[in-house]
Each structure stands twice: as structure tokens, then as C-alpha cells.
Amino acid sequence: MCGIFGVFGVKNAANYIYFGLYALQHRGQESVGIAVFDGKKIREWKNLGLVSEVFNEEILKNLPGSIGIGHVRYSTTGLTILQNVQPFCVNFAKKTIAIAHNGNLVNAYQIRCKLEEEGHIFQTTMDSEVIVHLIAKNHKKGIISAICETMKKIRGAYSVLLLYENSLIAFRDPWGFRPLSLGILDGGYIISSETCAFDLIGVQYLRDIEPGEVLVIDKEGPQSFKVFEKDEIKLSHCIFEFIYFSRPDSYIFGKNVYIVRKNLGRNLYKECPLSADFVMPFPDSGNYAAIGYAQASGLPLEFGMIRNHYIGRTFIQPSEKIRDISVKIKLNPVKDILKNKEIIIIDDSLVRGTTSRDRLKSIKEAGAKNIHFLLSCPPIRFPCFFGIDFPTASELIAAKHNVEEIRRFLDIKTLYYLSIEGLLSAVEELKDRVCLACFTGEYPLEVDFTFRKDIAEI
């Protein structure tokens, strides 16, 4: 999962991209980059780190132009190394193209091996570079035809921005796994992974880029091309965008994330009505479902753990004392609120289980009497191949243990997962248009179970 942001026809595009990426920072914290067309050539700046660490005012001044794209990365294919930072720029046939990609291709490695046999030389280990090679291979037919042919060959999740000469091009997979929205600003156009970035810089939302659509924005304005027939498009929006990834102030797939998460909490109460002294979230991932549960139950809402928002990446050392400190760096319990209380804790999901166990342990040590732990999604039992970084079942606690075994592992009184029916009820009319593969194992397209994140490095 990554964040992408594009600008067309707005003066000082790099400045707007900077703020857009700042709003999308939650979608990727490993690296960031901006590429801008200055009227003659594409200029770029990128590095490992956060938006605020990589860019400053002087760097942005050296990225002039009114057309550009940006990217924040959360790696799901290819290691976190400098050559894998996007946007990725290449020169071919006296042309320059820059790409920013959000998603994960399920057949990228097979295509890459075939292209290498044909003599193609790859500079990165990202699946995104496969898209560029396929476009370059067919560019003599024109950029639109090249993109359309590429989309027919690649499979998986892709919301893509291309910077090509004096145009901004967006295209999206026919399953619509990842969100992508179009807006207007000062007569120019903005494209973003989430609408929260529009709010920051005053963009008027127009519509979503449609699944299977190619949108070209140039001096003639936006031009839309449909690549797939209607019967080739089977919508499979990623449900985890609502559960965890997207910011609560965004509209994705036509719905407000905040309201969906509150509905998840309300549905948790319908399925698992409990009595306790209060409801609390594991912040920030459980905040909005906890509000929904508290409102539905009439119980007080408290914040029994306080999150430190000013932390970078932590490196866990082998000693037990340092491990204990690392848990408290991010979340620290409020002892006076928790002591001798029976509490309902709400969180969005349980993946590996070790982090939640440590957090629950710290709450017990703070004096909590009884702990009920409720999750606003079903058990995650199957790997994701479309842009979430848990690609092997061995990493998923619910793939190996039943609910009672997990409850004993967490050492709590109650463990409850929201049902699939409760999950779908929270998104209403989207219930037949979401991907539930991580819960059910029913994938919307064929996947390769031998896939590894570092497959191109092997």
C-alpha cells in the first residue's frame, strides 16, 4: 500500500504535491519522491524517509513546473532501498516517463522473467518497473495504446500515475482494489489516493477514477478511455481500506471512512453486547469503532492508553527491558483510569498477535480487573497479494489457532471478532463489491502462493 498524488496545470506543482503527500503519509513511511515536468524535462527528488525529512523549501524551489507526481511508499514488492524509491523515471526513445504506483501485481515476476529473457534490463526490484517496461515496449503505437495493452497483460492491484511529456495520466485496475480520486484546483486538476489530501489544499472533488479507466489530462483537458468491457470488470474494493488503511476523514469508494468505522463499532455491540466500566480503543486504529460501540452501548468512552505521536522507527534490542520500553514508546497506559476496572478494548484487527499481547499485558499490569478485547473485523486467516504486507499464512495468528486458543494466548477474559455479516452491513451497498480474501481465502483472481516480497532479490 502506498500513496500517490498528481497535479496538472497548477503553478508551483511541487509545493502542492508536497502537502498532498504530507496528507497521505499514513499510506507509507519508508520513502518519498516528487517528479515534475518543467516544460523541457522531468526533474525529480526522492529519498528514504518521511515527507518532512526528505523535502525542504530549497529543494521544492528546484522543482519548477505545473505538472508533477509524488509517491509515499509502503513496500509490498521489493526491499526498502534507494533504487526502489518512487516516482521511478526512465528514458527511452528520446522520451522520459515517470511512474507512481499504488498496489501489487500478482503476475509481475513472471512478466519480469520473460522480459529479461528478451533482453530487458531492470534497475529496481519493484513490480512497478514491469509496468514501465511494457509501456516502453509498445510505445510506437502511441502512449494510450501502450497503456491499454499493458493493462491487458498485468493482473492485480494498480492505481497508477504517469508523468509523460506535458501530460498527466492516471489508470486503475479493473477490480478497483485501491482508491484514486480526481479533483479540480484553480482551473487545474489534482489526482490523489485519498480525498483527505484534497481537503488540505482546497481541492474540489469531482469523481473517482473508474476501475479499468485510463484518464489523460493535457492542454485539451481530461480525456477518458475505457480499456475493458463491462463483463471484464469485477469490482473488488479492498475492505481493509475502510478497516485500517485510509484516513477517517477520506471518502473512498463513495463512502466516508469515519462513518464506516463507527458502524463497525455499532455492529460489534449488536453481536457482542457486554457490560463494563467503560469502552476504550487502542489508539489510533480502534478510535472510531470504539466511538460506535460506546454510543450503541451507552457506556462511557475513555482513552486508557495514550499514544505518542512523535516517534520514528524503533529498533528492538534483544534484552527484555528494552523490549518492554519499545512497547511503551508508542502507547502508554493511564493507570488511574484502568485500576480495578472492567474494560472493553476495541481495535481494528489482529494480525500476528504479539503486539496486542504486549499492550494487553501492560493494561493488566496497570491494574485492570477484567479485559474484553473486541475486533472490528473478522479473523485474518489468509495472505494478501494486492498490497497488504502479510503475504504468508505463517505470520497470521488466526490461520493457525482458533478464537479460544488466541484468547488464552492473549490472557484475557473475552475475545470477539466481528462477523463477515457485521462487516458487510457497515458498508451497505458495497457488500457485493469488496475483496474479503484475507478472511475467506476466496480471491477475486488467481494468485501465486509462492510469492515473496523479496522475490526479485532471490
Query: Where are the alpha helices (H) located in 272-310, listed in sequence order?
Result: 287-297
Given the DSSP bridges, would you call strands 370-375 and 342-347 parallel, antiparallel or unpaired?
Answer: parallel
Q: Is residue 90 classed exposed, middle or buried when 0-12, 13-18 and 19+ CB atoms within 10 A define those classes?
A: middle
Backbone angles phi, psi at 220, to 5 degrees: -85, -5
- Catalytically annotated residue among 2, 196, 377, 438: 2
Residues with Cβ within 8 Å of 408's Cβ and at least 6 positions away in sequence, in order, are: none
CB 77 within 8 A of CB 105: yes
Q: How far apart are CA 331 and CA 284, in angstroms?
A: 10
CB 42 within 8 A of CB 35: yes
Q: Is 196 part of the annotated catalytic residue set?
A: no
CB 172 within 8 A of CB 196: no
Residues with Cβ within 8 Å of 340's Cβ and at least 6 positions away in sequence, in order, are: 367, 368, 369
Given the DSSP bridges, would you call strands 251-252 and 204-208 parallel, antiparallel or unpaired?
Answer: unpaired
Element of type H or E holding 14 = helix 13-23
What's 157's DSSP letter? -
Count CB atoms within 10 A of the CB of residue 229. Answer: 9
Do you find a cis peptide bond into 211, omega within 30 degrees of 0? no
Nearest to 416 by CA among 367, 347, 316: 347
Query: Where are the alpha helices (H) located in 281-392, listed in sequence order?
Result: 287-297, 320-330, 335-338, 354-365
Q: How far apart are CA 110 and CA 121, in angstroms?
A: 15
Q: How far apart are CA 188 and CA 11, in angstroms?
A: 9
The amino acid at residue 97 is: I
Helix (H, G, I), strand (E, B) or coil at 34: strand
Residues with a known catalytic role:
2
